[in-house]
Amino acid sequence: MSNNILIFSMNRNTSVEKINDQMLESVCRLTDTVTNAEIRIRVKMPDLEISAIDGFFHHTYFEPVDNLQARLQHVVGTRVGAGMLKIIKGLIGSDDNLEQVVYMVEECCHGIILSLTRKVLLKAPDDEPGKVRFYSDMVQNSIRLYDRCAAFAKGGPLVRELEAAAEKTTGAPR
Amino acid sequence: MRLENTTMREFMRNKLVSVARRDDETILVHAVLDDSIYSLEIDLTVTIDNLVCTSIVGRWLRWTTPECPRALDFLGEAAGFCLAAGIEDTIHKTIGRKSCRHYANLLIECAHAAREAVKIINQQKDGGNNSRSLLATATHKPAAPSIAADSSPQPGSATPIPPFTAPANQKPESSRTTTAARMRQDKQAGPFIIDLHVHTSPASPCASASAETMIEEAMRIGLDGICLTDHNHVWTAEQIETLRQQYDFVILRGNEIVTNQGDMLVFGFDEDIQGVIKLEELKRRVAAAGGFLAAAHPFRGFLTFGAGDVGLTTDQAIGREMFRFVDAIEARNGKVTDKENGLAAEVAERLNLPATGGSDAHDETTVGVYATRFDQPINNETELVAALKAGRYKPVAFR
């Protein structure tokens, strides 16, 4: 067998569009060697709740998902935000042929969050000291970021002030 | 051509994963993530027979914070991971937290692609026959996944919680008055501060400290008691009683249960709920048991990452359906922002619901960050539920 011929190729695209001031739509499309699928959600603002969902999922080997549309409707009302994955998984199901469906719903939700994140990040200054200040303030205001990735890891430059403040308050390192 | 009524995309993310065969034993996986914020790529080598990642290299193309490039130093920890189904949690916990969640996201795509590629290879070996059994071979969770660089729980096999047996001569009784409780009774009526939201390991997979460690820290910092509220985990009355006697300290039990409307703290309710339950149904069961239900961190993550810019007003917040079913609102939670706690407090006040406080601690460094201050000493679960229902308490910053 030639080494240069691809065995498998996957494209996953997620996009978010503003329908109007009260509604965002997020679509995840998956095309790979054996799959053709799409999940589309609408999210009500500012509640960030899923107000509508539909989609399809075709896989070469898996049997079609029973009652996919009905299963998807279970997540209507779920809020896009922290802790959503376990709720989505619990409501749709965790069978092997649902793994990708759940993941695509999650991708749609992440798209919504990242579209909001992008607007915040656009406010970051261009200069390096300004950026350090901007992201230090961000982690101070969003404590869940602390120690959740390399950028905000314990002892790092972006959390130095936060750790110093905690030490001053509690007398012990954070 | 004139375009009318068109909207700009608010966000776009593309992920491309390609898998090629290097030799009879190995596949090469190349993946790119390019979105409105980040651009990054990784290259993996993966063994065909057991889906073990033998090497991984990453590159940043675009990033945001000045410290993002440090993430590359930790990517190597994925070498040795078995990429079979179920590896996702381990990837989130190691690569996502130590390195970067976006690298973790892309690595999960690689794992999926590697599994699909191996199915195709197996099918080709088989000449296209028996494809469903070959599919199963590559899909099912491994019996003993190889994670050379990680000692965390293996995918597909939840960490067993060690059996906890009360001594034979000990009569368990959750509402019994212990020595500590008698001491509390001797204490004049007055403030009694309990951390009502504490997680422990291994009962909560996301926690890193044992119940013993959490209790010792609570005692050290001067709390009057703590309540263990592990995720969808029921501590038995016997276990709690043994801990109480061991430490001579007020130790109570609750539970944090996942509902379709978010996490809920329950007290005086020992039904073992697994998976996701509808909030309305949980409320019905808790009420039937005479228990108490509080919305845990109801606005967690709501006012960060730009979601705070969407203009959620208090009037809109109090209209959330969940508040129809709760007995109280956790208005001081140690894992959310001051603004999110502030909104929860405002909503509680507007709805005339009592407010609780808890650290949501997952390790000993944060026990007691927030707690609940009661008017009177509380010695056991029965007294806790009665006090919660009476509404004579308020959340406090303690630590």
**pLDDT tens-digit readout, B225-250:** 999 999 999 999 999 999 999 999 99
- On whether any CB of chain B is under 8 Å from the CB of A31, the answer is no
B159 has pLDDT over 50: no
pLDDT category at B8 given cuts 50, 70, 90 is confident
- Return the closest-CA partner of residue B233 out of B285, B270, B268: B270
Residue position matching structure tokens 């970067």: B100
A113 in contact with chain B, both atoms CB, cutoff 8 A: yes
- What is the 8-class DSSP label of residue A67? T
Q: CB–CB of B3/B24 below 8 Å?
A: no
Cβ B37–A118 below 8 Å, yes or no? Answer: yes
Q: Which of B58-67, B140-149, B245-254 has the lowest mean pLDDT?
A: B140-149
Distance CA B200, CA A65 (A): 37
| Residue B142 in this model has a pLDDT that exceeds 50 | no
Say what angle helices A99-121 and B101-125 make with each other, to 10 degrees: 150
Q: Which residue has the higher pLDDT, B294 or B307?
A: B294
Asked if A154 reaches chain B (Cβ–Cβ under 8 Å), the answer is: no
**pLDDT for the residue B178:** 45
Residue of B5, B29, B67, B300 best to disrupt the A interface, most CBs of A under 10 A: B67
| Predicted confidence (pLDDT) at residue A145 exceeds the cutoff of 50 | yes
Percentage with pLDDT > 70 across chain A: 95
The least confident of A158-172, B95-109, B138-152 is B138-152
pLDDT at B3: 59
SS3 call for B130: coil
Cα distances (angstroms) measured from residue B256 to each of A82, B115, B150, B295, B370: 15, 35, 28, 10, 17
In angstroms, what separates the C-alpha of B36 from chain A's closest C-alpha?
7
Q: Chain B partners of A150 at a C-beta cutoff of 8 Å?
A: 67-68, 70-71, 73-74, 98-100
Chain B nearest-CA distance from A26, in A, is 9
* Contact status, residue A49 vs residue A80, Cβ threshold 8 Å: yes
Q: Does A143 touch chain B (CB under 8 A)?
A: yes
pLDDT in tens, B76-120: 999 999 999 989 989 999 999 999 999 999 999 999 999 999 999
Please say if the pLDDT value at position B185 is more than 90. Answer: no
The answer to whether the beta carbons of residues A46 and B312 sit under 8 Å apart is: yes
- At residue B206, the pLDDT reads 85
Torsion angle, alpha carbons of A40, A45, A51, A56, to 10: 0
Q: Which of B7, B9, B13, B261 to mutate to test the interface with A (most CBs of A within 10 A)?
A: B13
- Backbone phi, then psi, for B147, in 5-degree steps? -125, 85
Candidate from B17, B258, B339 with C-beta closest to A86: B258
Q: Kindly state whether A116 is in contact with chain B, defined as any CB-CB distance less than 8 angstroms.
A: yes
Residue at token pair 């944060």: B366
B273 vs A94, which has greater pLDDT? B273
Taking the Cβ of residue A23 and every Cβ of chain B, the question of whether any pair is shorter than 8 Å is answered with: no
Q: Which of A10, A78, A103 sits opposite B16 (nearest CB)?
A: A10
The partner residues of B355 in beta bridges, in order of sequence, read B329
**Is pLDDT of A64 > 70?**
yes
Count of other CB atoms within 10 angstroms of residue B57: 13
Q: How far apart are CA B57 and CA B43, in angstroms?
A: 5
CB contacts of A48 in chain B (<8 Å) are 302, 307, 310
